[in-house]
Amino acid sequence: MPSFNQSIFHPTVFFLTGIPGFETYHAWIFIPFCCLYVIAISGNGMILFIIITESSLHEPMYYLLSMLSFSDLGLCLSTLVTMVGISNTREISFDVCIGQMFFIHGFALMESSVLLAMAFDRYIAICNPLRYATILTNSRIIKVGFAIVVRVTTVVVPLLLLLKRQSFCGSHVLHHSYCFHPDVMKLSCTDTRINSAFGLAIVISTTALDSVLILLSYVLIICSVLNIASSEEQKKAFGTCVSHTSAVAIFYIPTISLSLVPRFGKHAPPLVHTLIANIYLLILPVMNPIIYSVKTKQIRKAMVKIFLSKLI
């Protein structure tokens, strides 16, 4: 029987997997990944800069949008080094892997929490517009942001502490280009039932609950909008929700796919699993600034104003 020393509990390194079957082309695959990261970082950075510098956007809706862009930036930066550097090195130390998991899962949970807060914002704006300014004050938005940080910390830290108690005495090869909690947990050679139960409880009480509450808010919004007599006003009300519903879709569809494929798609090629995992982390930061730039008139006007000021 092996002695459970420090090296068993804490392996020296894990080995990351790039794109299965395309190992010889990793240097070329780096180019589109790099372009996506540039789009995501510059797009979300621009959204943050516009909201911070443009006083007309200092409103609850845009403060929440800035939180969304911040979480997108966090997701990008959490995986940037390992994703684009997979062609040069496949090794990642145990402690760095734990740190990367904290930021990946933390910013993903932050994204879900902000989307829920934005759904509440849309509900108040459409169903109770006269009380919008008194309900969603700046101080309440700050409290919401603080609550999200507390929620992320109290959920993710215990999950990773439980993982650190596991021993890894077998394979150290991960199936993604970054450290993902379920992927790392599968490599443990000790009982992971507590970890699995706790992880499932977290998913149900956070992302799953958020999605149900978002759905409920839109049911109430639809009922309220359908009571509006004018079809033009109905169209205008629904139009204010297009950006948010698009952001919800591009967050939850990859999230659900990433959860279901390992369970129900065990016979799918490894390439399918890897592509879904990479899309999960890249499609959000890339698409969110594009959606809000195209669909939000105030953001577009602020962008045009900044560009024109630079040209003059």
Which among 192, 206, 76 has a CA at the least distance from the CA of 153? 206
The pLDDT value given to residue 26 = 66
The mean predicted confidence, pLDDT, of the chain is 83
The pLDDT value given to residue 229 = 60
What angle in degrees, to the nearest 10, is found between the helix axes of 209-226 and 231-239? 160
Which among 51, 64, 115 has a CA at the least distance from the CA of 247? 115
Better-scored residue on pLDDT, 250 or 234:
250
Nearest-angstrom CA–CA distance, 256 and 262: 11
The pLDDT value given to residue 47 = 93
The pLDDT value given to residue 151 = 95
Q: How far is CA 179 from the centre of its chain?
A: 15
Greatest mean pLDDT among 19-23, 26-30, 134-138 lies in 134-138
The pLDDT value given to residue 236 = 81
> What is 8-311's CATH number?
1.20.1070.10
Q: What percent of the chain shows pLDDT beyond 70?
A: 85
21 — pLDDT class (breaks 50, 70, 90)? low
Query: What pLDDT digit, counting tens, does each position of 260-290 carry?
Result: 665 555 566 666 767 777 777 788 899 998 8
> Is residue 186 pLDDT above 60, yes or no?
yes
What angle in degrees, to the nearest 10, is found between the helix axes of 297-311 and 26-53? 90
Q: DSSP assignment, residue 110?
A: H
> Is residue 1 pLDDT above 50, yes or no?
no
Nearest-angstrom CA–CA distance, 70 and 113: 13
Parallel/antiparallel/unpaired status of strands 91-93 and 13-15: antiparallel
Nearest-angstrom CA–CA distance, 249 and 158: 29
C-alpha torsion 205→206→211→212, nearest 10 = 20
Among the listed ranges 17-21, 48-52, 114-118, which one has the minimum average pLDDT value?
17-21
In terms of Cβ atoms closer than 10 Å to its own Cβ (0-12, 13-18, 19+), residue 245 is middle
7 — pLDDT class (breaks 50, 70, 90)? very low
**212 token code pair:** 């149900």
> Is residue 142 pLDDT above 60, yes or no?
yes
Buried/exposed 23-61: b ≥16 CB within 10 Å, e otherwise: eeebeebbeebeebbebbbebbebbbebbeebeebebbb
Query: What pLDDT digit, counting tens, does each position of 35-94 carry?
Result: 889 999 999 999 999 999 888 888 899 999 999 999 999 998 998 878 776 655 578 888
168 — pLDDT class (breaks 50, 70, 90)? confident
The pLDDT value given to residue 274 = 72
Q: What DSSP assignment string belongs to 3-53?
A: ---HHHHS-SEEE---STT-GGGHHHHHHHHHHHHHHHHHHHHHHHHHHHH
> Is residue 24 pLDDT above 60, yes or no?
yes
Q: What are the residue ranges spanned by the domains of the chain?
A: 8-311
Q: What DSSP assignment string belongs to 55-105?
A: GGG-SHHHHHHHHHHHHHHHHHHHHHHHHHTTTT--EEEHHHHHHHHHHHH
Q: DSSP assignment, residue 173?
A: B
> Is residue 217 pLDDT above 90, yes or no?
yes
